[in-house]
Structure 1
Amino acid sequence: MVLTQNGKVQPANKPEYDRNTEIQAFDDTKAGVKGLTEAGVEKIPRIFVHEQYILEKNSISGRYDELSIPVIDLECLNKDASARIEIIDRVKEACEEWGFFQIVNHGIPMSLMNKVVESVRKFHELENEVKKQYYSRDFKRKVVYNSNFDLHQAPSANWRDTLYLIMAPKPPEPEELPQVCRETMMEYSKQVKKLGIYLFEFLSEALGLNRDHLKDMDCAEGLYVTAHYYPACPEPDLTLGLSSHTDSGFLTLLLQDQIGGLQVLHENQWVDVPSSPGALIVNIGDLMEASLYCSVFLVMVHVESNIT
């Protein structure tokens, strides 16, 4: 409030909120959301507030615990021809009805998956001066770290930081990868590439095509890793770590930390996807679902901070 010359009290003029300036100031720190938590913020910056999410959350009247995405066991894949047919039928059904499914006994050791989660956590919890060398918005680079790839375009920023790695068809030199996750990501990428080929075979056969149809289209040539990290948030009811979206063109494998929190939209209902030890989540993507022209598959690793 201010006192005018005639003795009347009037509201003080508040400075106009400049969203672009706030975004640029945050980006210039190159510290990401993790930097905000380390600074001890008690309220999240306005750029992270999801107004639409708050409205939608307040309008939700119930949960849908009775629904769950399909789980497909690959253990008998190479032991029984009839088992392969059953797996293909289940993949077809899951793709038609959900667009998502979980796979278990997929051949990637649990020990390696745990190492991936831990190495992602270690990278994001490095000293900021170490991480800054990877901070960029140039996605032609094979190794990129930043917060929100669409920070300057999205209506609201998500509460997360991400490490992006292009691991195929032309992977970075080993020394280009952060040392803290170098060997683990190289080994995990090899394992995922092998599993991805199996998935493209299942999809081809589910469509009544030759087993190698999608592989021969070079669908399995690209491999892009996005390793998300979600620091503890002081106002979690106002923001999201990953806002609702569709994946337009990728066959995506998701590896979650054991905390969970992922939901998928099924028949206009948001369904929780439980975090199951050893399971991977498969998202076939809109473009894959619609036209089968998919040139790369994506690996997403979701790690939530254990900082309180």
Structure 2
Amino acid sequence: MAPVVDYSQREMEIKAFDQSKAGVKGLVDAGVTKLPTMFIHPPENLLGSSLPEDDERLHKVRSLRFPVIDLSGFDCSESRKEIVEEIKKSAGSWGFFQLVDHGIPLGVIEGVQRGIRAFHELPQEEKAKWYSRDFAQKVNFFSFHGDFKVTTPADWRDTLSCKVLEDPASFEAIPQICREEVRRYMKGIDGVMRKLSELLSEALGLGSDYLATTRCFNARSMACHYFPICPEPHLTMGGTKHTDLGFLTLLLQDSVGGLQVLHQDVWIDVPPVKGALLANMGDMMQIITNGEFKSVEHRVLLRPTVQPRISIACFLSTDDLDRPYGPIKELLSDDNRPIFDRVIFREYMKKYKL
């Protein structure tokens, strides 16, 4: 029988936690050795699969190679055709793929990882300046997202959120300790985004500039996550299962690992690759491609590590929040009828209370 949760006790824990403005790292710094009840997830949330461990299909799915796509042949016509086919297959089956040789120098990648770690490891009183649950701010530091409820177990992580990064002035709001590192990294992300915009368009059988004309990658924001060392990692999660609501996410993870993707009803580990970026399709991409590209659930399990985990998610989406988006008409036919309604992104974001 599942344990009874005392929600009044959890509500008091959450209130005290929020008022401290110290985040999850503040608990670690205070020497916590047992998880507060607000972080404890039910065991079924932590399962790797609904299939029994001796199931043949389970082992077959786990043995699959996670897609890795090398962009070094982007400017070569023959290599580009192969890249487009790999993207079409990966986006349609996994919804995720690793990108290597994407054009962002390793020094820039390691620099932004150091910068984000440095922010999260600032003294508590320094970070508190940015602590806010006002998600309309261009920059805020928080631990629970806007849709968090007292009935929902909390995830073991802190986040520095940086929004409206298509506006150069927005960078001035970012903490100085990581500002230039973020600026350089986002310049690299812009280059990767332009390549992927063309390649994804071609993978749909459209002109290479098609997705660019829809403005679906014009808005950029970042969620810079820090997962402190957890005293009881088997009882909680770094990120509850979810899909991303935008068009495309580019994720940078460090060597600690823990990210999993749901593939054929089995949670698959995404192996960290030094310098690689992870690309994943969001809900809006699934909508406009009429399901040809998949937005799939993913989550973060915590490892019993000796160092915190860093991940940096860059969300690419539309800058026209009132524009309706629906299945691309060029993809539709009598044999491929629309399976999604048109969506106004501003309304869709309310699902996440953003």
Segment drifting more, 171-180 vs 245-254:
171-180
- Computed over aligned residues only, the root mean square deviation of the Cα atoms, in angstroms, reads 2.4
1:273 equivalent among 255, 270, 273:
270
Are the aligned partners of 1:160 and 1:228 in contact in 2 as well (CA < 8 Å)?
yes
Are the aligned partners of 2:39 and 2:155 in contact in 1 as well (CA < 8 Å)?
yes
Alignment of 1:201-280 (within 5 A): 201-280=198-277
Are the aligned partners of 2:144 and 2:154 in contact in 1 as well (CA < 8 Å)?
yes
Are the aligned partners of 2:144 and 2:155 in contact in 1 as well (CA < 8 Å)?
yes
Alignment match, 1:147: 143
Post-superposition offset of 1:290 = 2.6
Alignment match, 1:306: 307
Question: Distance in 1 between the 2:251 and 2:7 partners?
Answer: 41
Question: Distance in 2 between the 1:57 and 1:278 partners?
Answer: 27
1:46 corresponds to 2:37: yes
Calculate the TM-score normalised by the size of structure 2: 0.75
Q: Secondary structure at the match of 1:282?
A: strand
Unaligned runs of 5+ in 2: 1-5, 54-58, 291-299, 310-354
Alignment match, 2:14: 23
Alignment of 1:193-208 (within 5 A): 193-208=190-205
Question: Distance in 2 between the 1:266 and 1:58 partners?
Answer: 10
Are the aligned partners of 2:217 and 2:248 in contact in 1 as well (CA < 8 Å)?
no
1:181 corresponds to 2:182: no
Counterpart AA for 1:56: L
Question: Distance in 2 between the 1:305 and 1:129 partners?
Answer: 25
Q: Secondary structure at the match of 2:47?
A: helix
Are the aligned partners of 1:143 and 1:166 in contact in 2 as well (CA < 8 Å)?
yes
- The count of residues paired between Structure 1 and Structure 2 equals 285
Counterpart AA for 1:203: L
Post-superposition offset of 1:150 = 3.7
Larger Rg: 1
Q: Secondary structure at the match of 2:239?
A: coil
Q: Secondary structure at the match of 1:40?
A: coil
Counterpart AA for 1:163: L
- Relative to structure 1, is the Cα distance of residues 72 and 59 closer, same or farther in structure 2, using a 3 angstrom cutoff? closer
Question: Distance in 2 between the 1:111 and 1:252 partners?
Answer: 21
Are the aligned partners of 1:204 and 1:212 in contact in 2 as well (CA < 8 Å)?
yes
Counterpart AA for 1:219: C
2:166 equivalent among 165, 169, 189:
169
- Relative to structure 1, is the Cα distance of residues 126 and 60 closer, same or farther in structure 2, using a 3 angstrom cutoff? farther
Calculate the TM-score normalised by the size of structure 1: 0.86
- Relative to structure 1, is the Cα distance of residues 232 and 204 closer, same or farther in structure 2, using a 3 angstrom cutoff? same
1:37 equivalent among 19, 23, 28:
28
Q: Deviations over 1:236-278 (max 9, x none)?
A: 1100011111113230011011111111011111111100111
Question: Distance in 2 between the 1:16 and 1:249 partners?
Answer: 32
- Relative to structure 1, is the Cα distance of residues 47 and 250 closer, same or farther in structure 2, using a 3 angstrom cutoff? farther
Counterpart AA for 2:307: N
Are the aligned partners of 1:166 and 1:172 in contact in 2 as well (CA < 8 Å)?
no
